Amino acid sequence: MAAVPSAAWRPTRLPWAAALAAVCLMLLGWAGIERASQLTASTLAGGDVVTAQDRLMRQIAWSVLALAVALFCAAQRWACIRRWASPAYALVLAMLLLVFAMPPVNGAHRWVRLGGIGMQPSEPAKLVLVLALACWLGRRRPARLADLLLPLLLALAPALLILRQPDLGTAAMLVMALGWMLIACHTPWRLLGVVVLCGLCVLPLLWAGMSAEQRSRVTALWRQTLPEERPAAEGYQLHQAKQVLALGGKWGSLLAPAPAADPARRHLPEAHTDFIFVVLAERFGWLGAGGVLLCYMVLVCSLLHAAGWCHDPQARLFVAGVAGLFACQALINTAMAVGLLPIVGLALPLVSYGGSSLITHAAALGLAFAAVRSGGALA
């Protein structure tokens, strides 16, 4: 076995800026979850403060577990990770099927619960898809239309299952991950054009298959209301998000507390998950919102730069895919929160409340570190 060049193992050859940005995002998430709990408690009669504290402590516990998962993943060898791509993909598909045998939560089949522990298989599905696509596309760059059949199948199988849950946001993320990976592996533009054209042709079928609630979220984007107007039921979340965003102003409620506003203006459903970006903007103003975006920019750029250190094409493509995963999901969530995209229920990576999302993205960073550390050492 060939000796590994010592230069490849230098600590400076790892994307430490991405790790620092990830820690900053988790800390911002704690602040946002605490603020979201305060806003909810202040707008609900008899708000349960203990429950709000429990939510923050639970997120901190998940963060500790996520750190342990990231360290464990970072210690693995890329050759071992690559061998687990196919079994992991099969396991995720099985879990996505298993959710339909579980009792629905709020009318959706998204959770697998074993005892008191629950998880959303759609979260690890994004990471596993990136790994599977990296292993396939890293060996064979698509040169013909037939070469796209397996990557399309790998992406569409879990995407269709997730769409049936229903979860439009995560299903769209899988499709975007496929597009990002095809671009990253230098697929000819003529083939990408064919894929985009096929996607446009499928859109009417997708619209026909969407539930009434999913359609209302799309149409609500074109019926946004003014602050003094009463929003329709399907546009309530977006209307309230813009209200809370405006209350933060330039400096946020922490540095420049505003006079007490109507409590109804501060009520924002799912503030600790889908709309955590709005809560941070309300608390820390433009500085806080810009800080969140800056952290994601540093994280993504650091991973893309590190991908160039990988001599193994599969490892290089995987690290680039993880960067795309963070970039696309952060972009969709923040654009959704401010009314530029339909509300599709997509968490903000490393920031939103929830164990499944937090641990999955921590594992993604850990595996990216492992790919750079050991995949980059391959000749």
Residue 40 has pLDDT above 70, yes or no: no
pLDDT digits (tens, 9 = 90+) for 187-227: 888 888 888 888 888 778 777 777 777 777 777 777 766 66
How many CB atoms are located within 10 Å of the residue 332 CB? Answer: 20
Residue 217: per-residue pLDDT: 74
Q: What is the pLDDT of residues 341-363, one digit of tens each?
A: 888 878 999 999 988 899 999 99
**pLDDT tens for residues 295-344?**
999 999 999 999 988 888 999 999 999 999 999 999 999 998 888 888 88
Residue 378 has pLDDT above 60, yes or no: no
Average pLDDT, stretch 267-273?
78
For 115-128, how does the pLDDT look when each residue is reduced to its tens digit (9 = 90+)? Answer: 667 788 899 999 99
pLDDT at 116: 66
- pTM of the shown model: 0.88
